[in-house]
Chain A
């Protein structure tokens, strides 16, 4: 059962009142975005290395959540095991860099690996739907993980690979990865925003709402689904490559970890499917909450996170953005014209 796109205008209002309210909203959103971007650009100069790392982590997960949003939110295909591209990307970059290639080349190969993988398995797996598709992608992840653990000469097997360290000192290195991940996240937002208004995006939503009808209308559904999954996979692969350089070590259980997949899936769900900013906001929220839980309740963080997930599903089944919208948009409450 696919998600229904949240309706953008929930309150019925007179046409021109609505237009002016819409104009004000756009302005407010633009201002908020600019402010957020400036704060994030300046943040590394004002916060400790620890928090810089936490925020970088939030950027990383925000990008991953946006990537899953492309295939699961827009096209309605829950690629539960999308973390496979994270692992593939990080291994591709690691293998290139261990052999003396540059980081840029590593990213290129990571993108290419993800793309080729989707082109190979996409047309087959995308014939499945719902649970079957979800678990088949998990199966794909397990298969690639087994391959990475056993193909010793290329991947180092269970020992993993040590990636050459960045040439900068720790403080500069932290800043480099901060800005790199920030750029990737902004890129992912732009991709989602483009998808929202592009032909491909409309095709995706048509497929999500009724695939049979979409096909009857002449849509090449397999091509569309494969294209959008490739987009999602390449984005995930880039993040994986950056992760490999950032952590300078990859091993199968760490980069093919289903917990990563669950985390970005929860962020995506909490943010609301097929929204442009939902997954980003939710990723920041979840990342900070889980950091706080982790540092305060080490022994019970898994259980507390699990409880959090269950509560979210119970009380915010349509995500964060819709939760706020249903309660009369916070912005609208704050900036309601008097009278």
Chain B
């Protein structure tokens, strides 16, 4: 049997949202709270993941699909170790998982080149290796001359390309991609798909959250369908599950055009 890379055991994630209730967070209410010695504005609990269990193995590319608010991003962030699991369950991984999200901006004021260098150093690459790989990373990101401009001048697509290039430069056992490729252009999508394929072959595990179902179908060998924090379907019949998901959510069926693969 293949070697497990990610084991998710009865995972529950609860967000605790402060100040979400009737308390409108004005100075007066804050003062009253202190006078009455209450802890914080009313806490609302949002149960985002409700008891998920599964195992992902070496070489898997797992697509995570589901509607907005179904807990896809939360699941990835829990796998990355960035969200605490509730008592009684947990996420076990082989090494650290690298999470690539849309909002991640690295160091906005610094140039793309500096971001490449610092990002690689932060991941623990020795300086000599960073120097060696620098050009390859810059070329892969395809940002061209922009590499010497601050990252805040980048378009959304360029930013996510550079982040993907940095995070996938180091051999990561587990790579979590959260819509990060959605903003890239067609050419980059092909390249990133090749890179994901490579990572899988290097015996890693990739998780992909995407609303572009065709992209999931082209890239993944397994798929997890989440709805309100629970697993609806999970398995290796990727196109079958996607069809069922499309039918349930009342969307257009996926047009299977194999031109890109």
Q: Do A and B come from one complex?
A: no
Interface residue ranges, B against A (CB under 8 Å): none
Interface residue ranges, A against B (CB under 8 Å): none
